[in-house]
Chains A and B, each alone.
Chain A
């Protein structure tokens, strides 16, 4: 059914179609409409599972972890400060190998207080052992939430589906909502082999020795590596059934592209407009949008960038004292294979400031004029003197 939905409601429909048995949530702008929509369905008796209105995001994640260990499918959603509050338990969830699916709506972290889109909240959770998807529109939000359950329940790792605050969360678009029966065929019931069960008593999360701990950690890493292939297979199957697939990366007009923009989320959809205009002018530009950030699709990135002469990255996030996180990760992936290509890192759109097609065009212009990539991120595209053109 085609519906006119905000990104938040699209994600909520995705969660409901997956038939979660326990949902635990806590309000926070700009995520609250997901919580409200699920509560509305709970009130109407159509949610199917149990809704826990907990007193913090920390308890939401704790409840999802233990509920999942008891053998049920779980869902939660959060943003920004809420995600930061959960941090301890994000490690716990992946360590316990529970396939929780969580939507995080990107919002800038305090201080100072701000409510607009920035990816630093979710990227700060990079090392917690969660899969992370960054989506570019409302349809992709819904589809990715459903895919996430299937991927997570295959590799037994939790997945975070990341939507940008307001740009996606509150923006309305037509969205194709699949019917329940076809989702039920795609996503079978969650039946874990191990669970808290009085017929088969076991202790979960015991104290381990150093070498046992090392083995658990490596196992978690191997599961994350496996997730690359699983995510791709699930996306292909989804495309076969529903006609929509996204890949781990979205490649746009890469054929003969000499300058390739690498970015994520909504900047990727905006960039297509800029790239089309530049192509009209005869400029050889293209784009790679990173959809799956963890596990990082290195092989696919190297493959898609091997003919580029210059790579430029726009990050809506910043690791203070280093640079944008996508840029840093990309350089790390390229280093052993394509280390001759200069990578120009731009940090734009912080705090939800607008990144328009004209800004992206300017980024291409600046990249064109510069020969060597600066070691520091370019944070101001208006002041060309600042970075020595």
Chain B
């Protein structure tokens, strides 16, 4: 990890994220790699809080705090306006949460992917509407507790990386804020490619996932090392590459470290294990 005084930082110290926030770790890395020649769009989410109130800004690069469902369409508007002025250099980066991406902003995102807009779209996935107080989104994992799924979410998490891959965009990837080198490399990769880029960043959230804030790096690493959340990338919808080979730790190490899963019984854990194995086998099959 880099110190808060890293000269590449595009995030001022003193932001308003919760203690132990996994999202702001990822944000810091994404903005570092994006560089100063970048314009960003933020939509309502924890990102809007991290950005800070008028007239202050946590970001060192230009940022437009746009309407909830418009991360992709607003970024596309900026990208087209830059191209209309002959600027092919400035990076346009959309920053949204999982609700703003997988639910309310999904149509605009799919449209931008269809048009192959020249933007980098980063979804910071903390697996629920955390900014509004932990309500379930379509990115909330199966059986997870939230304020609106008090008995555990009945249905499965929407797989955004596969959905974006199916759009045949030049580049899409899963990443995690607790794997900084992998995340940095993926943003660097995205910067090199013309057209639509999508990076899905798992962002552990002590507030909503119910674990002590000091454990954020461990929780993120467990998500990946248990194969629960694999790190990979897809080019042009078909070239799969797993970017970190997990240690295959028991999935309950990840789940039972979090209060949102504490109600799980053996049967639930077995169901999740089967699902994780099935998904991993499928991913390996696609990679080969």
Contacts and interface: CB of A to CB of B under 8 A. Distances in A.
B267 to A, nearest CB: 42
Interface in A62-114: 62-72, 74, 88-89, 92
**Considering residues A64, A69, A203, A206, which has the most beta carbons from chain B within 10 angstroms of its beta carbon?**
A203
B76 interface: yes
A1 to B, nearest CB: 27
Given A58-B69, A58-B70, A70-B82, A63 B77 contact: yes
Contact of B84 (A21, A58, A200): A21
A38 B36 CA distance: 35
B60 interface: yes
Contacts of B56: 203, 206
A268 B84 CA distance: 40
Interface residues of B, number: 44
Contacts of A70: 39, 77-78, 81-82, 85
Interface stretch (B45-53, B191-199, B253-261): B45-53
Contacts of A63: 73-74, 76-77, 80
B59 A201 contact: yes
A212 interface: yes
A196 interface: yes
Contact of B67 (A24, A89, A198): A89
A53 B81 contact: no
Contacts of B59: 201, 203
A71 B115 CA distance: 22
Given A197-B62, A204-B65, A54 B111 contact: yes
Given A24-B77, A67-B78, A206-B51, A55 B36 contact: no
Contacts of A21: 81, 84-85
Given A55-B108, A207-B48, A196 B80 contact: no
B38 A198 contact: yes
B75 A203 contact: no
Contacts of A198: 36-39, 61-62, 90
Contacts, number: 151
Interface in A17-70: 21-22, 24, 49-50, 52-56, 58-59, 62-70
B76 A52 contact: yes
Contact of B65 (A49, A54, A206): A206
Interface in B73-98: 73-78, 80-85, 90
Contacts of B242: none
**Considering residues A67, A92, A208, which has the most beta carbons from chain B within 10 angstroms of its beta carbon?**
A67
A389 interface: no
A54 B75 CA distance: 13
A54 B57 contact: no
A346 B62 CA distance: 52
B111 A69 contact: no
Contacts of A22: 77, 80-81, 84
B45 to A, nearest CB: 12
Given A54-B111, A89-B70, A92-B67, A66 B51 contact: no
Interface residues of A, number: 41
B276 interface: no
Given A22-B80, A50-B83, A209-B53, A59 B64 contact: no
A65 B74 contact: yes
A53 B115 contact: yes
Contacts of A203: 51-52, 54, 56-57, 59, 62-65
A202 interface: yes
B143 interface: no
B108 A59 contact: yes
A299 interface: no
B110 interface: yes
Given A50-B80, A62-B70, A208-B54, A72 B85 contact: yes
A22 B56 CA distance: 30
Contact of A69 (B51, B64, B67, B76): B64
A382 to B, nearest CB: 46
A386 interface: no
B110 A55 contact: yes
30 contacts: A21-B85, A22-B84, A54-B73, A55-B108, A59-B73, A62-B67, A63-B74, A63-B77, A63-B80, A65-B66, A65-B74, A66-B66, A66-B73, A66-B77, A66-B78, A67-B78, A67-B81, A72-B81, A72-B85, A196-B39, A197-B62, A198-B90, A201-B57, A201-B59, A202-B57, A203-B65, A204-B62, A207-B65, A208-B53, A209-B53
Interface of B: 36-39, 41, 48, 51-57, 59-67, 69-70, 72-78, 80-85, 90, 107-108, 110-111, 114-115
**Nearest 9 interchain pairs by C-beta:** A55-B111, A63-B77, A66-B77, A70-B81, A206-B54, A203-B57, A59-B73, A62-B70, A67-B81
